[in-house]
Structure 1
Amino acid sequence: MIPLKRLGAILTASATLMSLGSVAKAQSTDPDRWLTPTMIDARASMFMPSLNYLTFQHMDQMFATRAVTKGTETWELPEKPMSLDGDYTILGETYDLEGALERTQANALLVLKDGAIVYEHYRNGSGPDTRFLTFSVAKSYTSTLIGFALEDGLIDSLDDKVTKYLPEMEGSGYDGPTVRDVLRMRSGVDWEEHYEFGSETQLTQVHDNSLVAYRYRWCDYAANESKPGAHAPDAAFNYATLDTSVLGCIVERVTGRTGAEYMSEKLWQPMGAEYDAYWIMDGPENVGREFFGAGLASTARDHARFGQMFLQDGMANGKQVVPAAWVREATVPDDGYEPTEPGSPVGYQYQWWTDARSDVFMALGLHHQFIRVDPTNRIVIVKISHTTEPVGRDQENEELFAQITARLTQ
């Protein structure tokens, strides 16, 4: 595959991309609508710092999508408002709550305590029905789909090799690791997850070719271009969005359905989601796949339901939705797997981040998106942000969360 340069080269390539037969036929009503220079430009520019507060709210206008449809019954979360007013200290500076949210570039903050909404606030034109793209928060959902497939007997064992379910991965970097290795981001595949959009990093090349230009799928890259890395499978943690894409393709293969369909049937409807969600795609409808590693758009309330369900060992809306054994296995670190490396404050289980100092576990996304589950204090915090930097501002958010927790538990 020839990697695309950033914006200028992407736009130059658009005429060629529109001539590719398998892609050009993607939309029967308007085959080129996702491949115009304007649309390619929009996808390339989605992280623009001055506008990402808005683009993160409207990804369905830039990407082909698949809907995760809700059911007829909604899990009604009780509302018991509590004041979170007061001073907050963020990196040594003092703010009121609104100032702290501005300082941490929040679009939304929703807090559950004991299963009830105690605080809910939306900013920058968003609201309860806004479906935000929350990037790698999606990984925790994709992991849950693997759990369902295991429970349904469609995956025999997490210790099966990836190639048992995706034989096209033979000869690639994924010829060797098990499903469990991939869940733990210990596939051993050669991958560098550097968020330097505008550069020539490996992640940027796949991002540009797949998500921006719709030239190939993430799993195409895994099957055709991935190679073994310096470490054997299970030997070392290496965060890789490519791993999660492979998990999603396993779900597709063993269920014979799209990820969105399976998620709707097994999770979204039984959980009692209030709104449809959607996955952004790495290509138009007839060739694209859900971007399983970072492409789910949902409301803050439905993210909160997902977090509360995991806090309740898989119970939602009065019924067991996710097997309790899977919740524990996915979120409680095994001996030797936490922290991710010596001295790190975090661990990683099955596509959930863990806190090496407590029983907190989190779904985290680029540009500082959080579903933070605190079993000891019975608190779920959903924070949706639009930070200028893609990573690197975890401390200020942890300080905010600690002070919110203190107010709710004093």
Structure 2
Amino acid sequence: MRKRTMGLIAAGALGLAGAGWYASLDAETRGLLAALPTNRDVLMWSVPQRDAAFRAMDRLPVLAEAREIAPSDKPLPLPAGRPLTIPGIEAYMASQRAAGLVIVQDGKLRFERYGLGFGPKGRWTSFSVAKSFTSTLVGAAIKDGFIKSLDDKVSQYIPDLKGSAYDDVSVAQLLTMSSGVRWNEDYEDPKSDVASFNNAEPEKGMDATVSYMRKLPRAHPPGAEWHYNTGETNLIGVLVSSAVKKPLSQYLEEKIWKPVGMEAKATWLLGKTGHEIAGCCIQAATRDFARMGLFVLANGNAGGQQIVPPDWFAAAAHKQKDIGTPGRGYGYQWWTYDDGSVAAQGIFGQGIFIDPKRRLVIASNADWTRADEGPEGEAREVFYRKVQALIDAGG
């Protein structure tokens, strides 16, 4: 595990073509460098800037650092299955602005396609897909005895939250985004909490997320209302790393990346005070996102090793909170469907869809035209149902 410094400025970088670090870059990376944004406000980047940056968040100037996550020396095979013919797939991928689409059914690779100049050897950023990885690390920490109970108060593990609106919030309420603490997750409002909290200056000696979140007021009693809150996933990350006394990336490598058999190196971006941004920003190959789905289908068992409690996914990947959408719900940082399927989702089109009934995993990466307000989200839901129907028809 090592940190990789990302403190270069894109605009200035192009003026340093003779510098040793620049001369060492390949042609693709130099091309990306020319298009990269010069600020770290992802939500305000243009489409071309996002196309360039989403595949390079950990290796080009995005004013961040990342820790590396080593792959397994025994990658989980994805043997080729009978190719899945999907009518209209080219038009679908173009409309999604898809970078990667991997479909695995019954453990076999049935479809794999890439776009936007991306490919199987690249790493695309996850955005909130990382939330589902972070919650799974809570399960691992419970199995390892570092977290005693989901009924424990969050402030037992993060003492700086004592006296705040989070003082009376349980680990379970944090996992289900039902803390009752006020939060604005509007991705298109530059003054929203989700746009502001990563840039806020932390109090001296305190984690940046904790410093921001402990100042927020209460809106509802704990457990009463579901409200989507990325800051709370970042708190979960602080909680896990504090409990296990390891960086999240190291724990992810030990408990998931290597045991599950991930094929490629991954990275996890760091916030201002050196903690991984737990609600976001794991960079990984699309096939390895699909392998995470296979891990869920295996009920958290990897190579005969039970990584999370045997009943973990029975709770984590099933509806714990109503979200106001018929047929849908929220588990422990997973989006649930009443048919038993579950999904990890990130803005701009990142996703892992898992259907236990059909032993189906669909991993996708994209750069949608808008974070989550455009037509692509519903079109992807239709696509999921289309693939399910194809499987049912023997396709």
TM-score normalised by L of structure 2: 0.85
One-letter code aligned to 1:383: S
Question: Could you say which residue in structure 2 is the equivalent of 1:237?
Answer: 226
Question: Could you say which residue in structure 2 is the equivalent of 1:390?
Answer: 371
Question: Could you say which residue in structure 1 is the equivalent of 2:40?
Answer: 43
Question: Could you say which residue in structure 1 is the equivalent of 2:112?
Answer: 120
Report the CA distance between 1:51 and its aligned residue: 3.0
One-letter code aligned to 1:260: S
Counterparts of 1:35-114 in structure 2 under 5 Å?
Answer: 41-44=38-41, 47-60=45-58, 61=60, 62=62, 63-86=64-87, 96-114=88-106
Decide whether aligned partners of structure 1 residues 408 and 41 sit closer, same or farther in structure 2, where only a CA change above 3 A counts: same
Is contact 1:75–1:316 with CA below 8 Å preserved after alignment? no
Among candidates 270, 276, 296, match of residue 265 of structure 2: 276
Q: Does 1:265 align with 2:254?
A: yes
Report the CA distance between 1:176 and its aligned residue: 1.0
Is contact 1:373–1:380 with CA below 8 Å preserved after alignment? yes
Is contact 1:34–1:64 with CA below 8 Å preserved after alignment? no
One-letter code aligned to 2:51: Y
Is contact 1:209–1:216 with CA below 8 Å preserved after alignment? no
Question: Could you say which residue in structure 2 is the equivalent of 1:136?
Answer: 128
Question: Could you say which residue in structure 2 is the equivalent of 1:227?
Answer: 217
Decide whether aligned partners of structure 1 residues 45 and 369 sit closer, same or farther in structure 2, where only a CA change above 3 A counts: closer
One-letter code aligned to 1:33: G
Please list the CA deviations of residues 226-245 of structure 1 after superposition, one character each: whole Å capped at 9, or x if unmatched.
222x2111000010001101
Report the CA distance between 1:324 and its aligned residue: 2.6
SS of 1:51's equivalent?
helix
SS of 1:371's equivalent?
strand
Please list the CA deviations of residues 327-363 of structure 1 after superposition, one character each: whole Å capped at 9, or x if unmatched.
21211224xx3x323x54320010001013x111000
Decide whether aligned partners of structure 1 residues 28 and 248 sit closer, same or farther in structure 2, where only a CA change above 3 A counts: closer
Q: Does 1:374 align with 2:364?
A: no
TM-score normalised by L of structure 1: 0.82
Question: Could you say which residue in structure 1 is the equivalent of 2:30?
Answer: none
Decide whether aligned partners of structure 1 residues 38 and 294 sit closer, same or farther in structure 2, where only a CA change above 3 A counts: farther
Please list the CA deviations of residues 254-278 of structure 1 after superposition, one character each: whole Å capped at 9, or x if unmatched.
1111111111111111111101111
One-letter code aligned to 1:53: D
Q: Does 1:183 align with 2:175?
A: yes
Decide whether aligned partners of structure 1 residues 222 and 301 sit closer, same or farther in structure 2, where only a CA change above 3 A counts: same
Decide whether aligned partners of structure 1 residues 28 and 378 sit closer, same or farther in structure 2, where only a CA change above 3 A counts: closer
Question: Could you say which residue in structure 1 is the equivalent of 2:17?
Answer: none
Q: Which runs of 5+ in 1 are unaligned?
A: 1-26, 87-95
One-letter code aligned to 1:120: E
Please list the CA deviations of residues 371-396 of structure 1 after superposition, one character each: whole Å capped at 9, or x if unmatched.
00011111100111100110033211
SS of 2:288's equivalent?
helix
Task: Work out the CA distance in 2 between the residues paired with 1:178 and 1:104.
Answer: 38
Question: Could you say which residue in structure 1 is the equivalent of 2:154?
Answer: 162
Report the CA distance between 1:189 and its aligned residue: 1.1
Decide whether aligned partners of structure 1 residues 38 and 160 sit closer, same or farther in structure 2, where only a CA change above 3 A counts: farther
Is contact 2:341–2:353 with CA below 8 Å preserved after alignment? yes
SS of 1:148's equivalent?
helix
One-letter code aligned to 2:69: V
Is contact 2:55–2:125 with CA below 8 Å preserved after alignment? yes
One-letter code aligned to 1:306: M
Report the CA distance between 1:401 and its aligned residue: 1.6
Among candidates 305, 309, 312, match of residue 298 of structure 2: 312
Aligned positions, number: 360
Question: Could you say which residue in structure 2 is the equivalent of 1:8?
Answer: none
Report the CA distance between 1:404 and its aligned residue: 2.0
Task: Work out the CA distance in 2 between the residues paired with 1:121 and 1:265.
Answer: 30
